[in-house]
Amino acid sequence: MKRQKKGSEWTKEEELILRLYYDILPAREIAKMLGRTVASVRYKARRLGIAKKSPGKCPKYLKPILRCIKDNYINAEDK
């Protein structure tokens, strides 16, 4: 018997967002952004071979910019 899939398929856009933010934001924030569970975000990252790097790898000046983009993305979805 073939196992049924839970949830919806990941789009290329969602995968890109995951790749961009996984090392910068907590999984719970990415899950909220994408409307997915934290477990699904972590599982997909593992399947894509994405791992959190040691803290401080992302330049500090990029964090506020990426958070701003994230906030605008979430607000655009609410409209």
| HSE-up of residue 13 (Cα within 13 Å, Cβ side) | 3
Instruction: State the DSSP H helix or E strand holding residue 13, giving kind and residue range, or none if neither.
Output: helix 12-21
| pTM of model > 0.95 | no
Q: What pLDDT tens digit does each residue of the chain (79 aa) get?
A: 444 456 789 999 999 999 988 888 889 989 998 999 999 999 999 999 998 765 555 666 677 777 777 777 666 555 5
